[in-house]
Amino acid sequence: MDGKVKGLIKRHAEDEYPNECCGILLGHKDEKTIAEIISADNVDTDSESNIHYTIDPLILYRIEQESEKRGLDVIGFYHSHIDYPAVLSKEDERYMIPGCIYAIASVDDEKCNELRLYYKDSFDEDYKDVTDTDYIKWR
């Protein structure tokens, strides 16, 4: 993986440590291209904000409307795992939407060590780690 967008996700994850960061991936669904990100506030402010994230649905709706006007799609989401590998948790798997790209950044001691991408087409299949493939393109 390369690209400016990847660096922005890593920086956001490091800045939010020890809490989980979260944000929205914008790009082109048909090309599976991540063109930019929009960082979002983690509105999960309870004591578990370092192991859970929630994006305000009204903010997500507004971002979706604005990005469509610019010719971009909401193609997925990103968040960080604190002092834990960039692998899907059971909660991640339960709430992920088929057809969306999910980026997970692993942050240990304020340093993002890994960024992995996951994807699945339908509810009937398992998620695939597409990090080291040409399946997803970065800008």
Report d(CA 82, CA 59) in Å as an integer.
24
- What does the pLDDT average to over 33-61? 84
Query: What is the SS3 assignment for 57?
Result: helix
134 pLDDT more than 50: yes
> Tell me: the pLDDT tens digits for 51-70?
778 899 999 999 999 999 99
Where do the domains of the chain lie, and which CATH numbers do they carry?
Answer: 4-130 (3.40.140.10)
Q: Whole-prediction pTM value?
A: 0.92
Using pLDDT thresholds of 50, 70 and 90, give the confidence band for residue 1. very low
> Tell me: the pLDDT tens digits for 19-33?
899 999 999 988 888
89 pLDDT more than 80: yes
Query: What is the SS3 assignment for 72?
Result: coil
More confident residue, 111 or 138: 111
pLDDT in the model for residue 50: 63
Average pLDDT, the chain: 90
Task: Quote the percentage of the chain above a pLDDT of 70.
Answer: 95
2 pLDDT more than 70: no
pLDDT in the model for residue 44: 80
CA distances from 51 to 44, 48, 83, 101, 128 (A): 10, 5, 10, 20, 22
